[in-house]
Every structure is written in structure tokens, then in C-alpha cells.
Chain A
Amino acid sequence: MAKYILRRLISVIPTLIGVTLVIFLFQRLIPGDPAVAMLGEHATEENVARIREQFGLNRPAFLDRDALVEGDLPGFFDSQYVRYFSRLLRFDLGDSIHRRIPVAQTLKERFPATLELALLSMFIALLVGIPIGIASASRRNSWLDGTTMIGSLLGVSIPIFWLGIMEIMLFSVFLKWLPSGSRLSPGVSITPVTNLLLLDSLLTGNFAGFWDALKHIIMPAVALATIPTAIITRMTRSSMLDVLQEDYIRTASAKGLSERVVLYRHALKNAFLPVITIIGIQAGSLLAGAVLTETIFSWPGIGKWVYDSILGRDYPIVQGVTLLIAIIFLLVNLLVDISYALLDPRISYD
């Protein structure tokens, strides 16, 4: 197993290099220039040229053919990508073009906000999706099953921005129970430990802070959780339906085991493999897909930040965030694969 994990971790490296290449290529295929995006309506030729030079945007994206023709080998390699990659080897993600602050620094501040939101959403999705999926499968064609199917279909189809706005209208404007956005109320502070506010407030015994953070996160987390909840519910249901028809389940029931034991101990374990795959995919998507939720609830995470950066052509930010999301995707996939082996003794990686 250890060998397998090591092998998988090593294989992450070429994948990540591939990711950097693709992102680099795509960004440069989009028309529009960071210098123009930065200088706006007033931009003069000279200033655009100066900013392009300052950030190395005047260099070719990958390799300089002209320099090679002239026999200038270092010039041939002096491209935007090579500069970026050599910085990356030193764990330097570069500076944002617009604000000129290190991307890593902002990432460190904003990523925990998205992570916290994604974790809570996943928690909600699992807590709701799996039991309902199981219940629905065990009572196939009942009213509960029908309601679950309609509910999960709605969950996949409801646009997040619409749901978010409805939540705000109901809980913030009419009932005035919950704040309409951001992470904390003015005047409330939580001593940072991990920058996951719910966790930090508990760690530091700041219960007022915990409640405030919970009030702020609950609506965006529910909005973000709708799609994964619906997908996990459907996947759990269909996977359980397959397993429940197996002979060993009938045997277990015939032996007089309670329905609960049959469902949770015997059926669920075998039905869980495809569900785990889906959970893995959804976990990655939650991080990458938080843009809408973060926009509506003015949540200070990476989603809105990277969206703005794409519009502003702030290449270093887009590169940094994409790389981080790619790493997380790969790690989650690895965890999913490892969990297969843990759940199913027939699967072995040795």
C-alpha cells in the first residue's frame, strides 16, 4: 500500500506540470491583455508597453523562436512559461499583476474560507444524502422514494444563485434570522489558528464567535450543498438498490437480522464504493464551483477571487489557484482510491 501511495504521489508531478502547461496555453489564447485590463479606459501605448515589460508579458509564452534563429540559446528559453516554472520550483507563485502582492499570501488568507464552506457543504451533503438514499432504496416506490427522487432532481436543477437569493430573502430580509453575507459580523473577531472560523472559535473557546460564524456560513453552505446532496442521494439509492437484490442480503434478512443491521452493516458497505467515487468528484467540484455561492453571499474565498482575476487577466492568480485546485483534485482522488482498499478487501494495491 505504501509503495502504491508513493507511486501515486510521484505520478502527481507530471500531471501538475501538464496542468500548468494547459492553463498557460488557455490563458494566452483568450484575447485581452493584463496591462490593458489594469490600466482601463485611460491606457496609453507607452504605459501598456511598460507594464507588459515589467511583468514579462512581452516575452513569448513558451519558447522564443526568433532568439533561436539568432543563435541566442538563453533567449530561446527566456519565455513567460519558463520564468513562471522556475519560480514555481522555488515554491513562488509570483505576484498579482493588479495589486502586486504575492499570490501565495492571498491564497493563504482566502483558501481557508472556501475550504470551510466546502467542508461544511460536504458534511451536510453526506448527512442528508446518504441516509435519505438508503431509506429511499429500502422503500422503493413508496411516497418517500418518490419524494426523494423529485427532491434530488430539483436539487440538481435549481440554480445556486436563485436558491441563494431566495435564502437571503427568507432568512435575512423577512425573518431577519441570519445575516445576508460575509463571514463575520462587524465587531466580532476570532483569533486565527487554522483560519477555519468555526474550528478556531471552538479551539479558542470563543462561543459567541462560533455562533456568529455559524450564522454566516449556514446559508451559503446549504446553497452549495444542494447539488452534491442530490447527486449523493441518487447514487446511494441506485447503488443500494443493486446490492439489496443480492442473495446474501436475502440470507441476512432470512436469518432474522434487523432491517437496520442488514441495511447499514451488510448492504451499505458494498454499496458504498460508487458513492465514494462520486463523493470524491463532488469534493473537488465544491472547491472549484464555489464561485456563484461566494458571489451571492460575498464570501471571501478563492472562487470569486479567481473569477475576477480571469476577467482582469491577472495570470499569476489564475495559475496559482488552478494549481491548488488541481492538487486537491489529485489528492482527493488518491484518498478515494485508498478508501476502496479499506472498504473492500478484494481490492489490493500491493
Chain B
Amino acid sequence: MKRKTVFTGFGLLIVLSMLLAACAKTGGEAPATTTKDTFIFGRGADSVQLDPSIVTDGESFRVTGQILDSLYMFDKGSTTPVPALAECKANEDATVWSCKLREGVKFHDGTDFNADAVIFNFERWRFTTHPYHFASQVFEYYEAMWGGFDDASIITEVKKIDDYNIQFVLSSPMAPFLANLAMDMFAISSPTAIQKAGEAYGTPTGGCVGTGPYKFVSWEEGTEIKLVANEDYWGEKPKVKNVIIRVIPDDSARFLALQAGDIDALEQAVVEDLATAENDPKLQVITRPGLNTSYLAFNFKIKEFQDIRVREAVAHAIDKEGLIKNFFGKYGTVAKNLLPPGLLGYNDKIEDWKYDPELSKSLLAEAGFPNGLSEVTIAEDVTDADGNVVYKAGQVIPLRLYYMPVTRFYFPAAKEVGEGIAANLTAAGFKVELYLEGDWPTYLGSRRNGLLMGLYLLGWGGDNGDPDNFTGYFFGSGTQPIKREGWYQNAELAALLQKAVTLPDPAERAKLYSQAEQIMHDEVMRIWLGHNNTPLILSAKVKGYITQPVGAENFEYVYFSD
């Protein structure tokens, strides 16, 4: 009997510990009060760095967007750039932009925001010889958005007129100039902070220093980043004093944390949890407009894909409506342009390829494959980054469909979509091998080297709401085969896009981007699948959360109310 008691005691020990711990809830610091002055956002992954000029991941911008301001910003809930730290006007040919800087603004470290600070930032990003343009860092967005570094930069000079007036001199007109200025990557950091921290600026130890509504407090790597309201903020004062951006890697655990009241908002929820949230009065689901496109791409080093009839057969084989309905749910819409609807140049006149497996079969037969297509031939030697031949000309390989190994905001269920497409293609006479190339870095690496040798899934999310950031980024350099775009080449399209980015008149630009969409459609060069609105789940008490199609969402508008 005595022993039994001992054993039972041991068995109950854990439960008792839990009870004991639970009893202590009323003692010590009371986390309950934190919901009033602390907004906790749950996310799946940590920021890479808090120096926005050297990163490309949304999780870094989510944080830097609270701490740093750009010269322009995107208006609430839109892609329209509006003045933030500066107001700029262009000269007649749009090659000189004169900007009046906001006066009386200070960085969080107490130093002045002025012309010198802006010039320091732009020169640091542009000049590879700048003492704070470190060799270990890649200022990717500067290079991508402003044409390159050093002499290749479209911004040839940032002139100081006086302490609060500057001029940007451009080598050629650039239509998305203000939209570029509004991007999170071109937010202005305190030069003093960069000089003080050196290469550690933006790291968990260095943090970052800007003029934004929140100040950096601490970063526990992989766990959480703490921010505190900037009482001297020049704009709308933050309503919540503290912000914690917490990493909860597991999707289900993140949702449970929201249900338990441990966090106030989250992104990246699984479909089942979204359904639960929609029916839970304590929660609310809001969506971010989907400025993104998912697609199925062809690798043009495959001989069969060089025949437009085969590409068209693929296009008619895919039941986009069904795929979107089943795998994107109510948050997705079918895509027929690379540009998402609402963007300048979106071509609504394009008639999407009809879902017609029988037509696919006849197109395949016409192209010389009456018995369907299960194997493909390599058109020319394909080499890897080190110059080794990976695929030899004439080599015959199975027809592969590469699916992404991860979920991305533009692809909520990449593998399932892959399986759906494979089933569609099979019904239309193709026999595809669903192919897992490896994990995400491997997939991206192979795509970059044009080695996804078949059909492959990928997508894109816009950075600044400008069509050049979609179409121009992808195909603007297509005078040569573009390796990372499945070796696609179209000089006419490239010339059109290169012209479109320089035109100052939006109407004229719209015409050219529309025309580009038509060319891409007529060529069946890629199959646009869907646009996905990103759902966010918030506690019902969270008010004032405004979703942004591009750029970081502003937590300063958030407040709590029953």
C-alpha cells in the first residue's frame, strides 16, 4: 500500500508540477497587463538582418519597417508612393529630382536627419569602395532597382543643396523613381549608428537606428525582437507602447498561441486553422491584397518546349479554376497575366487558355506526339556554375515537373498544386514525373543555373507596386537567353520593357506593359496560375491593423479595444 502511494506520487508528479506552476499565475509579474500595451506578432521565421539594404526577406522588412523610414512610403493600404521623410519633384525630362527633406526629425540615437544622412546612405549602397559598403554584404536591391553599383547606377549623383534640400541626378528617366524610394530596402539609417557598429549594424548585437515609429530594444536570435514606441515620432504617434515580433516556427503551435492569448496576430496559417479562426468570435481574419503571381515555367533548353504547340498543349491541359479552388481556397484568384490585377499595364483583354484536355491531345498530335509525351530531349549542352556539362545535347530524359519544397505566400500548397497539375497533364496525354530537386536553397540554385530541366513551379511577389518590378525584372534582359528564367529569350519583349521603364507618362507605360503581357500570352512562354491574397489572423481585440500590398505593415496604427 505504502509503495503504491509512492508510485502514484511519482506518476502524478508532472501533473502536480503543472498545477503548481499554474497556481503561481497570480503571483509575480502579471503578463495579462502586457496585452494592453504590448502588441505581439507571431511569425514562422526570424529576420535575417535588420539592415534593410542588405537583405531580401520579408521577415527582415517586417521589423525594419517599424524602425526606419524611407524618403517616401506607400499610402495606407495602397501601392501609391506618398512623401515620408522627403517630398520630391522631377524636372521636365525626369532626370533630376529635387527633394525637400522633412525638418526637425531626429534618429533614435539623437542625431539629426538631414541631407548628409541621406547622401551617406545612398553613397554607401552605391559605391563598392565606400568604407561602409562591406565586402561580405550584398546590396542586392540597390543593384536590382537602380541599375547597378558605381558607374552603372542610374542615380549618378545625390547633390546637397543645403541641409534640407537635395537633388537626385539620374542617367536616364526612371518612371518608378518614387515607388523605388518608398521601398523598405531604401530606408534611411543613422550614419552615426552605422559608423559605430560597422559590420555589426543590423545584427542581433548591433540592431538598427532610424527615424521610425518604433525603436529597436533587443533581438534574441530565433526567438523575438522587442521594440518600444518612439515618443518623438514625426508622424502619427504609435498607439501601443511595446511591440514584440516573436518567432513560432510551427504553424499549428503559432495558431494555438494566438488562441491561448499569448500572441495577438499571426501570419502563415494552415487552411484548417483559417476555417477555425473564421468561426471563432475571439479572432478575426483579414487579408493582404495579393500582389503576387504563381506560375508554371518551361525550360527552353528542352527541344519539345521550343515548339509552341507543345506549350499550348500544356496550357490547355491545366484546370486553373480547379487548382485555385482546391489549393488556394477563397484567398486565391486565377491569373492570366504576370502582373496582378490593378497594377499599371494589367491586360484584362487577354483571353485565358481554355481548359480543354482534348484540344491538348490534338495539339500534341499535331506537334508529332500522337501517343502523348513522356520523354523530352535536351536541345543544347547545359552546364552548371563551374562549367561542367550537366545535360548533354540530344540526351533524352523523362518529362519532369519540379515542385517547390516549401510553402510560399504565392504558393500556399506547392506540392499539392504540383500533384494536381501532374494529374491534369496525365489526362491530356502527358506523362510527367513529379520531381523533388532538393530543399529550398537547392531548388533556387538549380533554377538560377537553368537546371530545372522540365516544367517547374515558382512565383513572385512585388516589391514596390510597379510593373517593372514584375515584367522588367523577369524578362527585361532577354536579348540573350536568360538562364534563371528557363533560358527564355525574346529581344522584342526585352526592348519593349527597357523602353517602358523610362517613360514618364503612366498611360504610355500602361500600353507597353499591356503589350508585353499580350506577347507573353501569345508565345505561351509561361503559364500564370494564380494570385494569392495572404490571410492574417488577429485577436478580435486588435484594431487598426492595415494590410499593405507592398512594404511593411505599420504597427503604429494598431490598438486594442474590446
| Residues of B with C-beta under 8 A to A175 | 22
Task: Using CB atoms, name the residue of chain A closest to B137.
Answer: A100
For window 140-181 of chain B, which residues contact chain A by CB distance below 8 Å? 140-141, 143-144
The complex places the Cα of A227 from the Cα of B448 at a distance, in Å, of 43
Q: Does B244 sit at the interface, judged by CB under 8 A? A: yes
Interface residues of B in 428-456 (CB under 8 A from A): 438-442, 444-446, 448
Contact of A186 among B222, B244, B259 (CB under 8 A): B244
Interface residue ranges of A31-48 to B (CB < 8 Å): 31-34, 36-45, 47-48
CA separation between A178 and B260, bound complex, in Å? 9
Q: Are A177 and B25 in contact (CB under 8 A)?
A: yes
> CB-nearest residue of chain A relative to B440?
A311
The majority secondary structure among interface residues of chain A is helix
> Is B138's CB under 8 angstroms from A50's CB?
yes
* Contact with A187, one of B27, B29, B200, B446 (Cβ below 8 angstroms): B29
Task: Mark contacts of B216-243 with chain A using CB atoms, 8 A cut-off: 1 yes-contact digit, 0 otherwise.
Answer: 0000111110100000000000000010
Chain A residues within an 8 Å CB radius of B260:
168, 172-173, 176, 179-180
* Docked CA distance A342–B214 (Å): 59
Question: Which B residues are CB-close (under 8 A) to A185?
Answer: 29, 31, 34
Measured in the bound complex, the distance between the Cα atoms of B29 and A172 in whole Å is 18
| B261 surroundings in chain A (CB, below 8 A) | 176
Q: Which of B135, B136, B221, B445 contacts A33 (CB 8 A)?
A: B445
Whole-angstrom distance from the CB of B27 to the nearest CB of chain A? 6
Q: Is the CB of B256 within 8 A of A186?
A: no
Query: Is A99 touching B48 in the complex (CB atoms < 8 A)?
Result: yes
A36 contact from B34, B224, B226, B441, Cβ within 8 A: B441
| Docked-complex contact B250 and A295, CB < 8 angstroms | yes
Contact, CB under 8 Å: A211 / B28: yes
Q: Nearest-CB distance from A97 to chain B (Å)?
A: 9
Q: Which of B24, B31, B249 lies in contact with A304, CB distance below 8 A?
A: B249
Partner of B221, one of A110, A212, A260: A110
In chain B, positions 5-64 with a C-beta closer than 8 Å to chain A are 6-7, 10-11, 13-14, 17-22, 24-25, 27-29, 31, 33-34, 38, 40, 45-46, 48-49, 56-57
CB distance from B172 to the nearest CB of A (A): 21
Give chain A nearest CB distance to B265 CB in angstroms.
Answer: 15
Find chain A residues with CB under 8 A from B441 CB. 32-34, 36-37, 311-313
Cβ proximity bits A103-123 to B, threshold 8 Å, 1 near / 0 not: 001100110000000000000
Tell me if A25 is interfacial: C-beta within 8 Å of chain B. no
- A186–B240 CA distance with the chains assembled, in angstroms: 15
Contact A43 B448 (CB under 8 A): yes
Q: B439, A32: Cβ atoms under 8 Å?
A: yes
In the complex, the answer to whether A207 meets B28 with C-beta atoms within 8 Å is yes
Query: Given that A37-B441, A211-B21, A311-B440 are contacting pairs, would A298 and B246 also be in contact in the complex, using a CB cutoff of 8 Å?
Result: yes
Q: Which residues of A contact B247 (CB under 8 A)?
A: 298
B24/A215 in contact, CB under 8 A: yes
- Chain A residues, CB < 8 A from B383: none
| Stretch of A9-17, A67-75, A124-132, A241-249 on the interface side | A124-132
Min CB–CB distance B482 → chain A (angstroms): 12
Q: Please tell me if B195 contacts chain A, counting CB pairs below 8 Å.
A: no
Q: Which residues on the A side are within 8 Å of B224 (C-beta)?
A: 182
Q: Give, as a whole number of angstroms, the nearest-CB distance from A152 to chain B.
A: 13
For residue B199, CB closer than 8 A to chain A, the reply is yes
Q: Quick one: which of B17, B144, B248 contacts A42, CB cutoff 8 A?
A: B144
CB-defined contacts of B203 to chain A, threshold 8 Å: 99-101
Closest approach, in angstroms, between the C-beta of A147 and any C-beta of chain B?
10
Considering only residues 143-172 of chain A, those with a C-beta below 8 Å from chain B are 144, 161, 164-165, 168-169, 171-172
B427 located at the interface, meaning its Cβ lies under 8 Å from any Cβ of chain A in the complex: no
**Distance in Å from the Cβ of A28 to the closest Cβ of chain B?**
13
Q: Is the CB of B253 within 8 A of A168?
A: yes
Chain B: minimal CB distance from A50 (Å): 7
Which residue of B13, B203, B247, B441 has the most chain A CB atoms within 10 A of its CB atom? Answer: B441
Question: Do the beta carbons of B31 and A100 come within 8 Å of each other?
Answer: no
B257 within 8 A of partner (CB): yes
Q: Assuming the A-B contacts A99-B203, A212-B29, are A164 and B253 also in contact, with contact meaning beta carbons closer than 8 angstroms in the complex?
A: yes
**B330: Cβ under 8 A from any A Cβ:** no
Which chain A positions have C-beta within 8 A of B204?
Answer: 99, 101
**Cβ contacts A204-235/B at 8 Å (1 or 0 each):** 00011101101100110010000000000000
User: Is B129 at the interface (CB under 8 A from chain A)?
Assistant: no
Q: Is the CB of A99 within 8 A of B221?
A: yes
Please determine whether B10 and A128 come into contact, CB atoms closer than 8 angstroms: yes
Task: Report, as a range, how many residues of chain A touch the other chain.
Answer: 35 or more
The contact string, 1 if C-beta is below 8 Å from chain B, for chain A 279-318, is: 0000000000000000111101000110010011100000
Does residue A278 face the partner (Cβ distance < 8 Å to B)?
no
Q: Is A252 on the interface with B (CB-CB < 8 A)?
A: no
Q: Is A320's CB within 8 Å of the partner chain B? A: no
CA distance A321 to B371 in the complex (A): 54
B28 touches A50 (CB 8 A): no
B31 A165 Cβ-Cβ under 8 A = no
Q: Is A251 an interface residue (CB 8 A)?
A: no
Contacts A101-B205, A313-B441; A177 near B22 (Cβ below 8 A): yes
Q: Does B252 contact A (CB under 8 A)?
A: yes
Residues on A with C-beta less than 8 A from B223 are: 182-183, 298, 300
Selected contact of B14 from candidates A124, A168, A169, CB within 8 Å:
A124
Is residue A188 contacting chain B, with contact meaning CB distance below 8 A? Answer: yes
Closest to A36 in B: B445
Determine which of B18, B222, B248 lies in contact with A177 in the assembled complex, contact meaning CB atoms within 8 Å.
B18
Q: Is B3 an interface residue (CB 8 A)?
A: yes
Asked if B356 CB lies within 8 Å of chain A CBs, one says: no
Find out whether the CB atom of A300 lies under 8 angstroms from the CB atom of B25.
Answer: no
- Distance A135 CA – B135 CA, assembled complex (angstroms): 65
- Judged by a CB distance under 8 angstroms, whether A323 is at the interface is no
- Asked if A31 and B138 make an inter-chain contact with CB atoms under 8 angstroms apart, the answer reads no
Q: Which of B506-559 contact A (CB under 8 A)?
A: none
With a cutoff of 8 Å between Cβ atoms, the chain A residues found around residue B27 in the complex are 207-208, 211
- Tell me the smallest distance from the CB of A329 to a CB of chain B, in Å: 23
- B112 in contact (CB, < 8 A): no
Q: Which of A75-119 contact B (CB under 8 A)?
A: 98-101, 105-106, 109-110
Q: Report the minimum CB–CB distance from A156 to chain B (whole Å).
A: 17
CA distance A273 to B175 in the complex (A): 77
Q: Is B267 an interface residue (CB 8 A)?
A: no
Q: Give A182 to B203 CA distance when docked, in angstroms.
A: 21
Complex Cα–Cα for A311 and B200 (A): 23
- Tell me the B176-202 residues at the A interface (CB within 8 Å): 199-200
Name the one of B20, B29, B143 contacting A47, with C-beta atoms under 8 angstroms: B143
Are A51 and B136 interface neighbours, CB within 8 A?
yes
Judged by a CB distance under 8 angstroms, whether A191 is at the interface is no
Q: In the complex, are the beta carbons of A186 and B242 less than 8 A apart?
A: yes
Q: Assuming the A-B contacts A181-B253, A212-B28, A212-B29, are A41 and B444 also in contact, with contact meaning beta carbons closer than 8 angstroms in the complex?
A: yes
A sample of 27 inter-chain contacts (CB < 8 A) reads: A30-B438, A31-B442, A36-B441, A36-B445, A38-B48, A39-B56, A39-B140, A44-B140, A99-B48, A99-B203, A132-B7, A164-B253, A165-B253, A171-B18, A176-B261, A178-B18, A182-B246, A186-B34, A186-B38, A211-B24, A212-B28, A214-B17, A222-B14, A222-B18, A297-B253, A298-B248, A304-B222
Q: Other CB < 8 Å A-B pairs besides A36-B448, A127-B13, A180-B253, 14 of them?
A: A32-B438, A54-B135, A98-B48, A100-B136, A164-B253, A168-B257, A177-B25, A181-B253, A182-B224, A186-B226, A186-B244, A188-B31, A295-B253, A298-B253
Leading 3 A-B pairs by shortest Cβ distance: A208-B28, A177-B22, A37-B441
Chain A residues at the B interface, C-beta cutoff of 8 Å:
30-34, 36-45, 47-48, 50-51, 54-55, 98-101, 105-106, 109-110, 124, 127-128, 131-132, 135, 144, 161, 164-165, 168-169, 171-173, 175-183, 185-188, 207-209, 211-212, 214-215, 218-219, 222, 259-260, 295-298, 300, 304-305, 308, 311-313
